[in-house]
Amino acid sequence: MKLSKVRVQNYRSIYDSGWFDIEDIKTIMVGPNEAGKTALLQAIQQINAPKDIKGFDSLRDYPRSKYNDITRGKVLPKNVNVVEACFTLAAEDIDELPDGFENCVYTFGRQLDNSSWHKLENAPEPILYEDIQKDLQRLTTHMNPQFLKENSDDLAKPSDTLQEICSNWTTDTLISETNAKQILEWLTNNLVYVDEGNKKEEERYDKIAVLAKSYEDNNNTLKILNKRIPVFILFSNYFRVKPLIILEHLASRLESGILDDDAYDYGNKCLLKLLGFTARELSDLGKITEPRQEDKEGMKKYRDQLDERSYQLNAASVQLTQEIQSIWQPDIKKGEANKLKLQVDGQYLKVVVEDDLGVEIELDQRSEGFQWLVSFFVVFFAEATNSHSNSILLLDEPGLNLHALKQRDFQTTLSRLAETSQTIYTTHSPFLVGSSELDLVRVVEMPNRTTGTKVHTTVTADDPAALLPLQEALGYDLAQSLFSQQRNLILEGLTDYWYIDGIAQLLREENLVDLNKKIALVPANTASKVVYFATILHANKLKVAALLDSDSAGDQVAKQDTLIHTLGNKNILRTKDVYTGSVDKPEIEDLLRDTLVSIAKEDLGWDVGIKAKEQVTRPIVDILQAEIPEFSKYKLAKAFLRWSRDHQAIDLLEPERLQWTELIKNINKSLK
């Protein structure tokens, strides 16, 4: 199952976050300090937390300003919804379900007293009394004569016993589990009064039984899906692997239940789980004494135990080293440490780092960033890839202590991990938000204490600080792209960047045309700023072209002497150069007109299909702006990005494919 949307209420600073969408692969939550990002992750984990994670506590978790409602009995914890989640079904889920439940959405909720509830949406409609009432009446009309032939008049006829069951039912009474059992029992008791030769009445009998049993399909579906809810694994910066573990002490604490509050024990337990040993097993291995030489059986057992420990330590060391090197990328020439080793000496388990000279340094003497990275992979491999393979990964400020460039590398790792474990993470860092990932961002803010924490599905916020990581991410990518590539295509805005990048990928996958990967796409934010970007890039002796819409703003910029002198007419590309439709002044969206009309309706509920057909000479953006009060070019482009991930170039209309193929050829030609 995939988590599709979530809502958190009545939890610490969160009165009601509102429903917000979760992406299939990874979702990025940004916002200022004290906005409630950590609280959101903590609440979401309680959908289905690992067994050793504590549940909700009314005293600690209910919003403090409203806690008197609890103490006075005005509000009961069992009636307080804290977290609700909707899940969409994967093929392996559907395979286990009864027929008719293929398109259902599973909704699960957790309440303040840690009880839970669940329901199905888009499932077969529940059976009401009116659905079987007429058939029951006709069946009793058939049964009564046969009953009277075999019994005295003073006994209750089938119609009488049915009336006792249904006397308080109305036409819209739900055939619940209790009601269904009564109907099925009545059918069983009166089966003997159905004439075996009457096929019509036998079919009526079977029809009623099937409808009455339909509640079982619903209940079974709920039970199956409840067992398939992913485990939510929350990794915080506070979970660290202690580089030096005294095994006997840790084993005693674990056995007595007396654990450290600083989360070291959690990291250490994960390390031991990764090794495949308990603390007691490793501790006991450190106590065994070498048997006498003549005791061959004892010597073999002794060697096997030590070898097994050594091999598992070595395997874990290799696995961790490979993952950490993929991000840390040590400079071997400078002698930077590049190997992680796990060692056991008696009662001591050590985590050390070895450099190319063979010098070993304890993990706690390395940087905070390196320690965090080691701890992250230990917890992830122990929890997510073993006992919790069906998991959703929640990361609170991952990589906070990593250098900016290593955070950029870690962003790639997060994408890789998210391919197997749906991932939600919070961050302040622009280096963990790619410029092509803004559609994955959810902005978290707290407008005021009375309102509490809110989550915005679109990139919007009342507090500019909430958007700072996104602005910095775009600024960094822009700065990198400005002078790092010899070939640069300047675009009017970010949505143009998304359209070109998304379409180029679709066309590349079908081998229709390949946008030169050495071309940097540079959004200028507005058409008026294109000339400034072009001038700066051209002054640095870089190849530059610009793509402008064929609207009034684009025309005004295209006619500027400075731009013409800088780029020349051949490198000023216009959407009208490749457009083959009827729009007088086509914008980039008009190159995808029909596809965007379909996406707008199916994904956003914006139905302008009739207007688009009636007004074929009018730009599609103008139509949407006039017809849809909440329209934004950002929302439309974001919906297109989602569409492009699940579709191919063949799903575009042929004129659209031809227009975009020609446009990309023109871009490649102008920057060859």
DSSP-assigned letter for residue 592: G
Let me know if residue 299 belongs to a domain. Answer: yes
Is residue 499 predicted with pLDDT exceeding 60?
yes
Is there a single domain that holds both residue 394 and residue 524?
no
CA atoms 139, 145, 151, 157: torsion sign: positive
Query: How many Cα atoms are found within 13 Å in the side-chain-facing hemisphere of 615?
Result: 16
Higher pLDDT, 251 or 54: 54
pLDDT at position 463: 58
Residue at 477 is within a domain: no
551-569 average pLDDT score: 87
As a whole number of Å, the end-to-end CA separation of the chain is: 46
Provide the pLDDT for residue 152. 81
pLDDT at residue 261 above 50? no
Q: Where are the alpha helices (DSSP H) in 193-243?
A: 199-212, 214-227
**HSE on the CB side for 574, CA within 13 Å?**
18
Last residue of a domain, one of 338, 365, 382: 382
Tell me what pLDDT residue 445 has. Answer: 87
Which of 384, 664, 631 has its CA nearest to residue 507? 664
**CA dihedral angle for residue 202, residue 208, residue 211, residue 216, rounded to 10 degrees:** -90
- Is residue 4 domain-resident? yes
User: What's the CA gap between 261 and 567, in Å, rounded?
Assistant: 64
Q: Which residue has the tokens 């004290």?
A: 34
Where does 70-167 show beta strands of DSSP type E?
Answer: 81-88, 105-111, 116-121
Q: What is the pLDDT of residue 564?
A: 87
* Beta strand extents in 183-293 (DSSP E only): 231-235, 244-246
With pLDDT > 70 as the criterion, what percentage of the chain qualifies?
A: 90
DSSP 576: G
Angle, CA of 281, 283 and 289, to the nearest 5° = 100
Find the mean pLDDT for residues 265-293: 76
At residue 262, the pLDDT reads 47
- Residue 220 tokens read as 């079974």
Same domain, residue pair 557 and 634: yes
* pLDDT greater at residue 480 or residue 56: 56
What is the mean pLDDT of the segment spanning 24-33?
88
pLDDT the model gives residue 334:
47
DSSP conformation class of 175: -
> What is the predicted pLDDT for the residue at 391?
85
CATH number at 451 reads 3.40.50.300
How confident is residue 466, by pLDDT bands cut at 50, 70 and 90? Answer: low
Exposed, middle or buried: residue 227 (CB in 10 Å: 0-12, 13-18, 19+)?
exposed
- Residue 45 is encoded by which pair of tokens? 């984990």
Task: Please enumerate in sequence order all residues whose Cβ is within 8 A of that of 384, keeping only pairs 6 or more positions apart, or say none.
Answer: 233, 391, 393, 417, 421
Least confident of 159-168, 232-241, 442-451, 538-547: 232-241
Read off the amino acid at residue 466.
Answer: A
- Dihedral angle sign, alpha carbons of residues 33, 34, 40, 43: positive
Per-residue pLDDT band at 10 (split at 50, 70, 90): very high
Q: Does residue 367 share a domain with residue 242?
A: yes
Top mean pLDDT of 53-62, 321-330, 415-424 is at: 53-62
Angle at 429 between CA 40 and CA 274, to 5 degrees: 70
State CA 75 to chain mean position distance: 32
> Could you tell me the residue range of the domain that residue 242 belongs to?
238-382
pLDDT at 549: 93
Same domain for 177 and 276, yes or no, is no
Is residue 616 within 8 A of residue 581, CB to CB? The reply is yes
Q: Are residues 437 and 311 in the same domain?
A: no
Q: Which of 360, 382, 404 is the last residue of a domain?
A: 382
Confidence band of 595 (pLDDT split at 50, 70, 90) = very high
For the chain, the maximum distance between any two Cα atoms, rounded to a whole number of angstroms, is: 109
Q: Does the pLDDT at position 547 exceed 90?
A: yes
Rounded percentage of the chain residues whose pLDDT exceeds 90: 43
Mean pLDDT, the chain, whole residue set:
85
Q: What is the DSSP string of 277-306?
A: --HHHHHHHTT--PPPTT-HHHHHHHHHHH
pLDDT of 661 over the 90 cut: yes
β-strand partners of 572: 546
Are 215 and 33 contacting, i.e. CB atoms less than 8 angstroms apart?
A: no
Residue 436 pLDDT level (bands cut at 50, 70, 90): low
- Is there a domain that residue 233 lies in? no
- Which pairs count as long-range contacts for 414-422, CB under 8 Å and 24+ apart, including other chains? 414/26, 415/25, 415/26, 417/380, 417/384, 417/393, 418/25, 418/26, 418/393, 419/25, 420/385, 421/384, 421/391, 421/392, 421/393, 422/2, 422/3, 422/22, 422/24, 422/25, 422/26, 422/230, 422/392, 422/393
Name which residue leads in pLDDT, 401 or 3. Answer: 3
Is 419 part of a structural domain of the chain? yes
**H or E segment and range at residue 519:** strand 519-523
Compute the average pLDDT of residues 18-37: 90
The one-letter amino acid at 124: P
Number of domains in the chain: 4
Binning pLDDT at 50, 70 and 90, where does residue 327 land? low
Q: Identify whether residues 140 and 97 lie together within a single domain.
A: no
Shared domain check, 337 and 250: yes
Whether 629 is covered by a domain: the verdict is yes
Name residue 35's amino acid. Answer: A
- Residue 574 contacts residue 554 (beta carbons within 8 Å): yes
CA neighbours within 13 Å on the CB side: how many for 511? 0
Q: Would you state the pLDDT for residue 495?
A: 92
Q: Are residues 250 and 147 in the same domain?
A: no
Tokens 């001038």, located at residue: 535
Helix (H) or strand (E) holding 350: strand 348-354
Q: What is the DSSP string of 335-381?
A: T---EEEEEEETTEEEEEEE-TT--EEEGGGS-HHHHHHHHHHHHHH
Question: Is the alpha carbon torsion for 391, 393, 394, 396 positive or negative?
Answer: positive
Amino acid identity for residue 624 in this structure: L
Same domain, 264 and 208: no
Angle at 657 between CA 654 and CA 659, to 5 degrees: 110
User: Does any domain span residue 473?
Assistant: no
In sequence order, the 6+-apart residues with CB closer than 8 A to the CB of 380 are: 233, 235, 393, 417
User: What's residue 611's pLDDT?
Assistant: 93
Q: Are residues 284 and 296 in the same domain?
A: yes
Domain co-membership, 539 together with 590: yes
CA distance 471 to 482: 16
Q: How far is 411 from 125, CA to CA, in rounded Å? A: 44
Taking the C-alpha atoms of residue 508 and residue 97, their distance in angstroms, rounded to an integer, is: 38
pLDDT class of 539 with cuts at 50, 70, 90: confident
Q: Return the SS3 of 550.
A: coil
Residue 259 is given by DSSP the state -
Single residue among 339, 366, 382 that ends a domain in this structure: 382
Question: What are 119's two structure tokens?
Answer: 């329901």
The verdict on 510 and 619 lying in the same domain is yes
Give the integer Cα–Cα distance in Å for 434 and 639.
Answer: 18
Which whole number is the average pLDDT over 259-278? Answer: 69
Residue range 88-110, pLDDT digits in tens: 999 999 999 988 888 899 999 99
Closest among 162, 187, 161, 183 to 174, alpha carbons compared: 183
Please state whether 10 falls in left (phi above 0), alpha (psi between -120 and 50) or beta: left
Residue 117 lies in a domain: yes
pTM of the model: 0.60
Q: Work out the angle at residue 98's Cα, subtended by the Cα atoms of residues 94 and 103, and round it to the nearest 5 degrees.
A: 50
